[in-house]
Amino acid sequence: MTAPRPIALFDMKAQQALIRAELDRRFAAVLDSGAFINGPEVREVEAKLAEFAGCAHAVGVSSGTDALQIAMMAEGIGRGDAVFLPAFTYTATAEVPLVLGATPVFVDVDPVTFNIDLADLRRRLAMVQAEGRLRPRAVVGVDLFGLPADWPAIEALCAEHGMFALDDAAQAFGAALHGKRLGRWGHAAALSFYPTKTLGCYGDGGALLTDDADRAELYRQLRTHGEGKTRYEVLRTGMNGRLDTLQAAVLLCKLPLLADELASRTRIAAAYAEGLRGLLQVPTSIEGADHAWGLYSVLLPAGVDRARVQDSLKAAGVPTGIYYPKPLHHQPAYAAAHAGSIAGGPPPLPVSEMLCERILSLPMHPYLTEEEVARVIAAMRAVL
């Protein structure tokens, strides 16, 4: 019997076919100009990113990780500071505070939305304050899988305690909450343009979005070695975190497709939910949120052998991913920082640990056909 044609977990070829001529034109313009660093395409895409998000400023940088680092560097976050962030997310969110000498304080997540649990955040903040050893400086809210975090609550908590509210929107560009797109929530939002994101380039890239002109100017300085008005006027310690002109050109080709692609992702997510509801826990949304559906991650029933499910789906031509197989506080690189973040050891993080055992991501990209979505649903129903 012929093996079924595999479905793409992420499909960049279908999108590329739509914009290939424009890519060639844009690449040729960059090659002809020779402006490979900070070329005019960088300024052009920054303006269009800000316009799309509805914010005042966009600053292109070299990756989503560097976006997080530049944002924290601008706030002077470092040794003795506590940065609160979810335990169930990608490593970069925790990596950056440690690189800067700060202490990540891992917070559990909500079992339905998978985003940071505000009650647990308040509890751990109170513990850090009571101990008095670390200064609470920032909360990094992650819009996991494309669903906006509870930004009104995060903003209110940060305002109450004088903390920096940073949106890690790496998986969620295009999402909105109460009519405001991500990029206008918090003091700043960090984007990743890794190729599989809702808006991706063909390499590494990222951006910072903010309504604060002073922060935006500081981000521009920090991304270029802390330079002032001239190349050899160094005002502060910065880094080499610029967005390449060629990657800006890619984003300019892709950005006009984004609105339709977000609508397609939403239709696909609705079809998955209809076909899988009652079989397992499908992703949810929150009131007033427009989900970007950067990933479509379901929660398998307790006790189900995930590896067996993945093998069966693979045999049916359905690829899957696990985001994430291990919570951050169990990662060897972060274990010591976690253990020392709260005196006597921090409280457990049971939801994050449970999700890592049961989470499973299905194919999600704007170019899935109805037939492919039906195949995914049928394969999942067959195995469960």
Q: Which CATH number fits domain 13-255: 3.40.50.150, 2.60.40.10, 3.40.50.1980, 3.40.640.10?
A: 3.40.640.10
β-pair partners for 166: 140, 188
Q: In angstroms, rounded to a whole number, what is the distance separating the alpha carbons of residues 106 and 111? A: 16
| 14-24 tens-digit pLDDT | 999 999 999 99
Q: What percent of the chain has pLDDT over 70?
A: 99
Q: For the residues of 166-195, what is the DSSP string, one character each?
A: EEE-TT-TT-EETTEETTSSSSEEEEE--T
pLDDT at 2 > cutoff 80: no
Over residues 45-57, mean pLDDT = 98
What distance in Å separates the CA atoms of residue 30 and residue 220, rounded to the nearest whole number? 21
> Distance between CA 310 and CA 300 in Å, rounded?
11
Q: Which residues contact 214 (CB under 8 A, 6 or more apart)?
A: none
Task: Cite the residue boundaries of each domain of the chain with CATH code 3.90.1150.10.
Answer: 258-383
- Name the pairing type of β-strands 289-290 and 81-86: unpaired
Q: What is the pLDDT of residues 317-357, one digit of tens each?
A: 999 999 999 999 999 999 999 999 998 889 999 999 999 99
Dist CA 36 CA 15 (whole Å): 24
The predicted structure's pLDDT at residue 233: 84
The string of pLDDT tens digits covering residues 352-364 is 999 999 999 999 9
The closest alpha carbon to 381, from 308, 293, 277, belongs to 277
Q: Where does CATH 3.40.640.10 sit in the chain?
A: 13-255
> CATH for 258-383, among 3.90.1150.10, 3.40.50.300, 1.20.1260.10, 3.40.190.10?
3.90.1150.10
**For residues 294 and 268, what is the distance between their CA atoms, to the nearest angstrom?**
12
Please name the residue ranges forming H helices in the chain: 13-33, 40-53, 64-74, 92-99, 118-131, 151-161, 213-223, 245-254, 258-276, 306-315, 332-339, 350-358, 370-383
Residues 208-238: tens digit of each pLDDT: 999 999 999 999 999 999 888 888 888 889 9
At 122-153, the pLDDT tens digits run 999 999 999 999 999 999 999 999 999 999 99
DSSP conformation class of 302:
T
DSSP assigned state of 204: -
For residue 1, name the pLDDT band (cuts at 50, 70, 90): low
What is the rounded average pLDDT of the residues 188-205? 97
CB atoms within 10 A of CB 239: 16
The pair phi, psi for residue 89, each rounded to 5°, is -170, -175
Per-residue pLDDT for 278 more than 60?
yes
pTM: 0.96
